Amino acid sequence: MTEQHLHIITHTVPWPADFGGVVDLFYKLKALYQQGVKIHLHCFTQGRKPQAALNKYCVSVNYYKRENNISSFSFTLPYIVSSRKDKALLVNLTKDNYPILIEGIHCAYLLYKVELDNRKVILRLHNVEFEYYHRLAQHEQNFFKRLYYLHESKLLKLFEKAITNKVLIAAVSKQDVTLYQQNFGTANIHFLPVFLPYTSVAG
């Protein structure tokens, strides 16, 4: 039987699974491992340290520092994306031709830059990010933070529209599927529920 290999790119280190943003990441990774998939994990770090526990589930684990500073601010790219640009990631991805799972809009810079056109890629949509940042702006009392959230929401809407029909998208909710179809005319988007501790994957 031919080995199945998969690159997974995550916006943060997916262990410990101690908050909502990483639960789906870790338990999906674990479920794929249990199905015999050889996982090549790529994590962006910001406040969460490398975790040896991930080596149990992955053939390789690479860490990339998120550039969380003013130099990552952009008038053309969302900050959550521009702060996760790393040339080493592209180098590592192009060492083979394995399919790629991009976990979240945060990690989709290479997709936007058309660096992955010859690869099989799935984008996992964890949020309709432009809507999320718009809601943050509505509830923010600080004037400057509110401006930042509105700026980020505007850039995210443009970014999400630019990549929406490049690859297959797996959304965490049916509502997100509908929002993408209504806002961007997304054709190849499907609902895939959140992976939880008791989730299993059919062979």
Q: Tens digit of pLDDT for each residue in 52-92?
A: 999 999 999 999 999 877 767 788 999 999 999 999 999 99
> What is the pLDDT, as a whole number, of residue 117?
84
pLDDT mean over 121-150? 96
Please enumerate in sequence order all residues whose Cβ is within 8 A of that of 42, keeping only pairs 6 or more positions apart, or say none.
Answer: 7, 8, 9, 10, 61, 62, 64, 89, 92, 93
Predicted confidence at residue 199, as pLDDT, reads 54
The one-letter amino acid at 35? Q
Fold of 5-191: Rossmann fold (3.40.50)
pLDDT above 70 coverage of the chain, percent: 96
Is the distance from CB of 125 to CB of 105 less than 8 angstroms? yes
Place of tokens 């794929």: 32
Question: How many residues are listed for the chain in this entry?
Answer: 203
Question: What's the pLDDT score for residue 200?
Answer: 55
Whether 128 shows a pLDDT value over 80: the answer reads yes
Residue-wise pLDDT tens digits, 137-191: 999 999 999 999 999 999 999 999 999 999 999 999 999 999 999 999 999 999 9
What is the CB neighbour count within 10 angstroms for residue 88? Answer: 12
Per the prediction, the chain carries an average pLDDT of 92
According to the per-residue pLDDT averaged within each range, which of 110-119, 142-151, 189-198 is highest? Answer: 142-151
For residue 198, what pLDDT is reported? 64
Please check whether residue 184 is in contact with residue 156, taking contact to mean a CB–CB distance below 8 angstroms. no
